[in-house]
Structure 1
Amino acid sequence: MTQTAAELFVKCLETEGVERIYGVPGEENADFVLALDKSSIDLILTRHEQGAAFMASTYGRLTGKVGVCLGTLGPGATNLMTGVADGNMDRAPLLVITGQGATTRQHKESHQVMNVVDMFRPVTKWSQAVQSADSVPEIVAKAMKLARTEKPGAVHIELAENIAAEKTGATPLRPANPRRAVPDETIMDQVWERIRRARSPLIIAGNGTIRTRASQQLRHFCDATNIGVLMSFMGKGAVDLDAEYCLFTIGMGQRDYPLLAVEAADLIITLGFDMVEYPPSSWNGNGDTDIIHIDFLPAEVDADYMPEIEVVGDLAHALWMLNQRIKSDGAPQFELAKQASLRQTMLAEFAEHADDDTHGLIRPQKAVADIRKVLGPDDILLSGVGAHKMWIARHYHCHEPGTCIISNGFASMGMPLPGAIAAAIACPERKILGVAGDGDFLMNVQEMETARRLNSNITMLIWEDESYGLIEWKQQQEFGTHTDLGFGNPDWMLLAQSFGWQGARCENAADLLPTLQTALDHKGPSLVVIPIDYRENMKLSQRLGEIDFSS
């Protein structure tokens, strides 16, 4: 009985391979923080708990390891909520640790005490308070196992201050390594026969295709069959943007050119498809498309998503099984002319305005094109939520999986800056670029100090329009007008200077590429601000509204 529950908790995390925790200390988690100080685990001090949650979830998405964030009771716990919900719905393996008032005062009105465990239940896979010091090893082991198990997500552990100080002789459990079941040979035979009968099959690759490292097997399958792949916002990089079967992104709220390929297909194969990104009603509204669902879990019940065949099991292994059948039977021949036409249409869309040299407002197409030019195949782009997300989702494409991090499940604003900090820690050899609108960036602007303190090699690119641009776009599109959504901004260069960042404002489109290159080459955090031309939003809406889906 030589250690406290807090010290045992930290030893359990060390045993699980945790290297760092992002968070804000408080009085009620003091025992835990002091135990951390004596451990091999680094505490990354953040300026807000929401920033800590975004950092931990981004780390989880990039590495597949469990990211860990920390807050105290009451307001510390509530501040974590948005980032935790975002990580959970983006399927990031994430452990949330909160302090709590002593169990001797939880039954009555008491300073900062609220039912945090119940509060976290709707936004986590599991939420549990530690009731005794001896139960710590089981609780930590269960939490880490659940966080990693498909679909990965957030788990929460509460440690009350008096429980944290209890003595215990318990020891950490051996880390669990949950294995994923593989699909049955019989069901894969059915899948293969259905694919061979198809005239024009199409693949929709979702978040699971990235998360499960199934990209390599998918590429082998498409190299052999040439079946086109549409990727969700969080599935970017499942196939290489240069591959002829890469049909880019699906998921815009408005009907877009990719739906021409969907409607021409007689079979849709969904891989790791997540309905939180793009509802089936948007691409199968008549419910008449034959669907093969391949994922770790059975398909969600949805009137517009009733698969002909469901394959439940390891996604990478399922694709490997299909590739084995190609080796033995040969690849079928399909009619894929409309898919090839879609690719050419989208390439033309991406080329429009990519070489602008206008002065003043910079078009989104030009900004995205320069971002793609300045980042290498393995570098990482992070996008927040706003009108900029739609342009990045539609126009920015990847060579490798896990190189574009978009918040698109819960779709919360405020992720790019803390996410970029975590990305720089997780992948120090890569260039890190975060893109945020001015509204998005200011939601976690305080983490500029964290980036400076850590000397993070990150660049943040702000698209400035002094408005909640996405809401304005949607209101204008639906109602022909919009409410007052404008706001003011700080002097960005003074803001950068005050936080010790390098800063640059670019108002000439021709200068954007070298400005970004200079920022990315700088050692330490850099801020680049551009005035964005969101008149292009409604121009895009008008163009998409003229697509003839009847032909």
Structure 2
Amino acid sequence: MKASNLLVACLEREGVEHVFGVPGEELEDLLFSIRDSKVTFVPVRHEQGAAFMADVHGRLTGEAGVCLGTLGPGATNLLTGVADAHLDKSPLVAITGQGGLERLHQESHQAIDVLRTFEPVTKWNTQLDSPEIVHESVRKAFKVAEYEKPGATHLELPEDVAAEETDAQPLPVRDRVAAAAPNPDALARVQERLRTAQRPIILAGNGAVRTHAASQLREFVDETGIPVVSTYMGKGAVSDSRVHSLMTLDSGENGEAATAVARADLVVTVGYDIAEHDPADWNDGTAPLVHIDSEPAEVYEAYDPDVEVVADIGRALSSLTEWYRSAAVTFDTEWYADLQERIVTAVDRDPQPEAPFTVEGVLPVLREAMASEDVLISDVGNHKMAIAQNFPTYEPNTCIISNGLASMGIAVPGGLAADLAVDANVVAATGDGGFLMNAAEIETATRSGCGYTIIVFNDNDYGLISKKQHDHTGETFGTGLTNPDLMTFAESFGIDGYRPDSKNALKEALQSAVGGDMALVEVPIE
């Protein structure tokens, strides 16, 4: 078969259902190979949208999403979404076309060194310079992308190689490399720290969700009564409906969760990466640290754990739960009650009967319109901070926030990927700034038969930057925007549009939109 057919056969063997991308001349053989396969090619409006779709697919399913772009600008347009997946630990395989090998030794049209360009934002990448290495390279790309800690990989396919013949066949997909069992000596050291602690706290990170350790974490918390605060990407590891949840690590004016961490006499991090939330913001160095993760802790003065358990996170937590049941150890379970009460009060605020709205006031109405298993995709901006701290999350992977790279523009394409990946309802929440960066993907969504809700918090501004500028200097510059009439904009795509002007209208709009056909809800923010 042709090398392009082999590559697609390998994608089929990996279980790939969708490839998101933009066609290009150098991809001709590969595109027709996809046409003749079980894989669905989803043509998108911009390669960045394709990479965000693959990114969110990987985050939700644990299986690598696949994005496709041609050489030169097609490849560089993919880069932001690939980098987002890399820092958010989301499995992704990027495929880019390239000119023929005979012209890559010299300056030529659209040719840049894509491998070196992608190197800093991938776990592994290679050029498929021979049809005989395609099967091995595709298998490696998926294996490396998906094993802990997951991330992005990249394959470059020159157009002349794509057309060459090969007798190679796809390699079988083996079980993923499993993390090791916890070391007994390391567990004993954790147990000793727990024996001497009265006010321990757990900081749950992305890894607690990503490695499916939420059930073991919940069991440990229920047994011990230890409170849990999550990072933005760890939301849902422990349900925010539980009394043990202190919701999300914050840096706001009240800072109840951060205050709880400061009060604690032991901090146990579970699946935490320092890229999620700088430990310098929450670690004052007074309480000892225990690090439970699939990889050793990063070397950082502000995060220097006393004990590291490098192992399968769920197995480590189960071992600690079994130990606790017979250890005759008790903790103070009231020391955080006042903080938990204030957090719940702050979160459970309703908007005023009439506009103007605030993001914080809208979130309880949105939460009421969504079931616990429904998925919220948050873009990046002022609203992200509110969603992270004020949107109760009850199940793992139901509140998707980019906080490694923290790239604007992810919500609309991410909503499409989520709608294809899960059976639950999907809501994409974005500010007006991030919305128009990839709003063209609404056309991709309608063409693909998707149905999810887009909420646009519209303040005609890059609001988060305005807030930070004002906090620092008392004034703002370079942040003001103007926007099209978003109701007309929605109508132009053939989707429902809502612009509520009161609390009751907001409730009606969200109840109608969530779970229905493709819709856009504009919420004016002053």
8 Å CA contact retained: 2:122, 2:152: yes
Equivalent residues in 2 for 1:120-269, closer than 5 Å: 120-177=118-175, 178-252=177-251, 256-269=255-268
Contact 2:3 2:165 in 1 (8 A): yes
388, 400, 407: which one pairs with 2:402? 407
Residue matched to 1:79: 77
**Residue identity matched to 2:374:** D
Give distance in 2, aligned partners of 1:211 and 1:442.
30
- Deviations along 1:175-211, one digit per CA (max 9) or x if unpaired, are 1321211111221122112112111100000000000
Cα deviation, residue 287, structure 1: 2.6
Q: Aligned runs of 1:412-451 on 2, under 5 Å?
A: 412-427=407-422, 429-451=423-445
For residues 319-350 of structure 1, the C-alpha deviation after alignment (integer angstroms, 9 at most, x for no partner) is 111112123335x2212333111110111111
Residue 371 of structure 2 aligns with which residue?
Answer: 376
CA offset at residue 509 of structure 1? 2.3
Tell me, in whole angstroms, the C-alpha distance in 2 between the residues paired with 1:80 and 1:405: 20
User: Is residue 430–residue 455 contact of structure 2 (8 Å, CA) maintained in 1?
Assistant: yes
* CA offsets 1:63-104 (integer angstroms, 9 cap, x no match): 111111000101100110111111111111000000000110
Letter in 2 for 1:400: E
1-structure distance, mates of 2:114, 2:271: 32
- Percent pairwise identity: 44
Kindly indicate whether residue 348 of structure 2 is the aligned counterpart of residue 351 of structure 1.
Answer: yes
Residue 376 of structure 1 aligns to a residue whose secondary structure is: coil
2: distance between equivalents of 1:140 and 1:455?
Answer: 29
CA shift, 1:480, in A, is: 1.5
Q: Which amino acid aligns with 1:530?
A: V
Where structure 1 has 5 or more consecutive residues not aligned to the other structure, the ranges are 534-551
Q: Does residue 333 of structure 2 align to residue 336 of structure 1? A: yes
Question: For the Cα contact (< 8 Å) 1:251–1:277, is it kept in 2?
Answer: no
Q: How does 1:286-365 map to 2 (within 5 A)?
A: 286-330=284-328, 332-352=329-349, 354-359=350-355, 361-365=356-360
TM-score (normalizing by structure 2):
0.98
Other structure's SS at 2:193 match: helix
- 401-410 or 335-344, which deviates more: 335-344
Whole-angstrom CA distance in 2 between matches of 1:321 and 1:12: 39
Q: What is the letter of the counterpart of residue 430 of structure 2?
A: A
One-letter amino acid of the counterpart of residue 387, structure 1 = N
Identify if the C-alpha distance between structure 1 residues 521 and 194 changes in structure 2 by more than 3 Å, giving closer, same or farther: closer
How far apart, in 1, do the equivalents of 2:70 and 2:2 lie?
18
Amino acid at match of 1:184: N
CA displacement 1:234-263 (0-9 Å, x = unmatched): 100011111110010004376722121111
Q: Give the match for residue 40 of structure 1.
A: 38
Match of 1:528 among 514, 518, 521: 521
CA distance in 2, matches of 1:471, 1:254: 17
Contact 2:241 2:392 in 1 (8 A): no
What is the CA–CA distance in structure 1 between the aligned matches of 2:41 and 2:427, rounded to whole Å?
24
Look up the equivalent residue of 1:54 and give its one-letter code.
F
- Alignment deviations for residues 140-185 of structure 1 (CA, whole Å, 9 cap, x no partner): 1111110011110000000000111111101111113212111112
CA distance in 2, matches of 1:522, 1:280: 41
Q: Could you tell which deviates more after superposition, 257-266 or 151-160?
A: 257-266
Amino acid at match of 2:352: D
Opposite residue 370 of structure 2, the aligned amino acid is L
Q: Report the counterpart of residue 547 of structure 1 in structure 2.
A: none
Report the Cα offset of residue 373 of structure 1.
0.7
Q: Is the 1:141–1:176 Cα contact (8 Å) retained in structure 2?
A: no
Structure 1 Cα separation of the partners of residues 400 and 296 of structure 2: 25
Give the partner amino acid of 1:169.
D
Unaligned runs of 5+ in 2: none
1:506 corresponds to which of 496, 500, 507 = 500
How far did 1:304 drift? 1.0
Paired letter, 2:141: A
CA shift in 2, pair 1:157/1:253, >3 Å: farther
Contact 2:251 2:281 in 1 (8 A): no
| 1:60 match | 58
Matched letter for residue 348 of structure 1: T
Corresponding letter in the other structure for 1:327? R
TM superposition outliers: structure 1 runs of 4+ over 3 Å: 251-255
Q: Distance in 2 between matches of 1:408 and 1:509?
A: 30
Aligned pairs, how many? Answer: 525
Asked if the contact 2:351/2:358 (under 8 Å) is kept, the reply is no
Q: Which stretch has the larger CA shift, 106-115 or 514-523? A: 514-523
**What TM-score, normalized by structure 1, do the two folds share?**
0.94
Question: Which secondary structure state, in structure 2, belongs to the residue aligned with residue 168 of structure 1?
Answer: coil
Shift of 1:138: 1.1
Structure 2 contact 415–427 (Cα < 8 Å) conserved: yes
SS of alignment partner, residue 276 of structure 2: coil
The yes-or-no answer on 1:396 pairing with 2:391 is yes
Letter in 2 for 1:69: C
Cα deviations by residue, 1:100-146 (Å, 9 ceiling, x for unpaired): 00110001111111000110001111111112110111111111110
State the alpha-carbon separation in 2 of the partners of residues 270 and 94 from structure 1. 26
> Residue 270 of structure 2 aligns with which residue?
271
Q: CA deviation at 1:532?
A: 1.2
Summarize deviations over 1:459-503 as a string: whole Å, max 9, x none: 000000000000000111111111131111011111111111111
Counterpart-to-counterpart distance in 2, 1:215 and 1:259? 22
Q: In the superposition, relative to structure 1, how do residues 355 and 476 fare at CA in structure 2: closer, same or farther (>3 Å)?
A: closer
Cα distance in 2 for residues equivalent to 1:274 and 1:140: 28
The alignment's C-alpha RMSD in Å is 1.2
**Residue 354 of structure 2 aligns to which amino acid in structure 1?**
T
Equivalent residues in 2 for 1:446-485 (5 A)? 446-485=440-479
Contact preservation (8 Å) 2:8, 2:33: yes
Give the CA deviation at 1:407. Answer: 1.0
| Partners of 2:303 and 2:490 in 1: CA distance | 48
CA contact (8 A) 1:272 1:294 kept: yes
Deviates more, 1:215-224 or 1:480-489: 480-489
Separation in structure 1 between the aligned mates of residue 446 and residue 366 of structure 2, nearest angstrom:
23
The residue that corresponds to 1:90 in the other structure is 88
The answer for the alignment partner of 1:114 in structure 2 is 112
Question: Corresponding residue for 1:488?
Answer: 482
Q: Which amino acid aligns with 1:351?
A: D
Q: Secondary structure at the match of 1:357?
A: coil
Report the AA paired with residue 502 of structure 1.
D
Q: SS in structure 2 opposite 1:194?
A: helix
